[in-house]
Structure 1
């Protein structure tokens, strides 16, 4: 396969990967809106090809609505919903799936084109191929998540939502990092081990925080304990711990919200410390120092947005903004880690 590849860098490939990353960011936004509007279970079948077309007639709409009426979410939460109300949630889920299909096309066709023209840097070919496989897997994971809410639950399983969202953010980070590699070429110097380790740990903590946020969303835990810094006037929520270890980690509202809060404090302290260290560093360039300070500020702003969202009762608009800010924070952390590895 290496005979098809050449060059150390390719800016067209970098731009293509950034476009795909932007579309994945759009997927995160639409997916967040789908979750916050409880729309994710409105399409009860997985049809990767024929499902690309929405209902085109009244009979089609009635057939889709009849399928939705068979699941617990309708009977327990939305009994009596009108067809027009059903269409609102249906369009959110259909849009999410349609955008996913579009992302797949935007990735696959240019990938084949660049590979044939030998424009993909040799060292990045298999990484980009792996990203393509993960993107395909994301569709299957999305259906695995939806399937958890079609028989016994009125919403998807929180841990499956966490896997689905976690894979989306992993793809976003990989796309940005690989795009930067394609733009700049292979590093010409040995990475600074201290900054490389610290920035990688920060990415890991941000990613873990995103996963904990998915558990908060999956358990509707943003609708309870809406005071801060206390939780209904106490340091520890009333339902801590849960009935079992797994319930405490993934299935109880108070604990999952507490874990999300605690890691936010750790993240804030580490980001502030790294920002100060970057400012004082004699190794980092002025641009890298600015990026480190920006990252610290972004962590603080995201924390404030999280508090505001919580205390407002997690309205849809703020919930989407919080998730979008998390995506930008991860992108900034990836850019900082990538850059300091070249210091």
Structure 2
């Protein structure tokens, strides 16, 4: 590989950042459409997994009838949508089809430019393995998506909440990994960390955001947002009764809708406290650093997300607020990861071009 000047490397990094930023926007759209697919109960409308042929939707009345007949064979139709008209079926079909098409598009949007940048020597050696890893996770996500759908085709009227939460969390992990790489090839300040533990604290907050997203996936899978729609108390109680009515007790953490919502609330409070603590510690130690200013933005984002979550609960989970809550969760995760990555500084330019990276 030919040696490159710092200017050439800077230009390549700029191109990579724009590409990764566009992928991040596409993943955000994918997650939002996935949330809408869930809320409209559309996720089981396509009962087969055809990664290539599935791009083409039904093109005539006979093909639409064939899809509807396949849907009629699953429990959701028999127990929830029996007698559904073809037009009603088309509504849920298009949501799921759009979600799958967008997922395929994100894969192409990542893989095709990656191949181009790689073959034209625009990717530094140290970035190749992380980007390949992200590509592999994207492929795995496709299988996880079908694994999730398959759970609702035989003896359930909904997909497994375990698989739904896994599908959502893996999407967000991929999103976070891309943010990490994107931030690493950007400009960084030369400010020192406010305290020796600042980066660890920022990392803890970012990881807790991902845990909270997993819990949010369980909430969505169980429709646990409807288990209690009062705040700050849950149906008049600080700790509601009925949290551990299932045996063994730990099953309640994943299968009891009331307990799952309670856990989601408690982790939200913990996340808000930790983000606030991180902000206060950073401002006290070094108020004029970019790290401290970012901690303020992070706390503000967590606060806004908490407010949206409370409003979503009190208004009994309207679709527009629920999807906003999901989108802002990605924003919080992305900023938390970028903030954490910011403590490590940017990649320095290799002295002898990309071969020395």
Shared fold (TM-score, shorter chain, > 0.5): yes
Map of 1:254 onto structure 2: 258
Match of 1:45 among 31, 45, 48: 48
Maintained 8 Å contact 1:165/1:211: yes
Aligned mate of 2:297, from 294, 311, 315 = 294
Name the counterpart of 1:234.
237
Report the alpha carbon displacement of residue 231 of structure 1 after superposing the two structures with TM: 1.5
TM-score by length of 2: 0.90
Q: Does residue 181 of the first structure (1) align with residue 211 of the second (2)?
A: no
SS of residue paired to 1:120: coil
Any conservation in 1 of the 2:191–2:291 contact (CA below 8 Å)? Answer: no
What is the CA–CA distance in structure 1 between the aligned matches of 2:242 and 2:198, rounded to whole Å?
A: 40
2:28 to 25, 29, 39: 25
* Secondary structure, aligned partner of 1:183: coil
Indicate which of 90, 97, 113 corresponds to 1:110. Answer: 113
Deviation at 1:230, TM superposition (A): 1.5
Alignment of 1:34-73 (within 5 A): 34-73=37-76
- 1:218 aligns with 221
Contact 2:198 2:278 in 1 (8 A): no
Q: 5 Å matches for 1:321-336? A: 321-336=324-339
Q: Is the 8 A contact 1:238 1:254 kept in 2?
A: no
Distance in 2, Cα, partners of 1:173 & 1:70: 38
* Secondary structure of the structure 1 residue equivalent to 2:197: helix
C-alpha change, 1:176 and 1:260, in structure 2 (3 Å) is same
The answer for the alignment partner of 1:276 in structure 2 is 280
Matched positions, count: 339
Change (3 A) 1:72 1:5: farther
Question: How far is the alpha carbon of 1:285 from its aligned partner?
Answer: 4.7
- Corresponding position: 1:267 with 2:261: no
- In 1, the alpha carbon distance for the partners of 2:136 and 2:111 equals 10
Per the TM alignment, residue 184 of structure 1 is displaced from its structure 2 partner at its CA by 4.0
Partner of residue 140, structure 1 = 143
**CA distance, structure 2, for counterparts of residue 156 and residue 246 of structure 1:** 21
Counterpart residue number, 2:206? 203
Name 2:313's counterpart in structure 1.
310
Q: Is the Cα contact below 8 Å between 1:210 and 1:326 reproduced in 2?
A: yes
Shift of 1:288: 2.7
Q: In 1, distance between residues paired with 2:71 and 2:250? A: 30
Runs of 5+ unmatched residues, structure 2: 347-357
1:154 to 152, 157, 170: 157
Contact persistence 1:5–1:119 (CA under 8 A): no
Q: Identify the range of structure 1 (192-201 vs 257-266) with the bigger mean alpha-carbon deviation.
A: 192-201
1:201 partner SS: helix
- Cα distance, 1:224 vs structure 2: 1.7
CA distance in 1, matches of 2:192, 2:316: 48
Question: Deviation per CA, 1:100-140, whole angstroms, max 9, x where unpaired?
Answer: 11111111111111011111121111000000000011110
Give, in whole Å, the separation in 1 of the partners of 2:236 and 2:70.
44
Q: TM-score, normalised by structure 1?
A: 0.94
Q: In 2 relative to 1, CA 278–179 (structure 1 residues): closer, same or farther, beyond 3 Å?
A: same
Query: Following the alignment from structure 1 to structure 2, what is the Cα–Cα distance between the partners of residues 112 and 180?
Result: 21
Question: SS where residue 158 of structure 2 aligns?
Answer: coil
CA RMSD of aligned residues (A): 2.1
Return the alpha-carbon distance in structure 1 between the equivalents of residues 278 and 114 of structure 2: 37
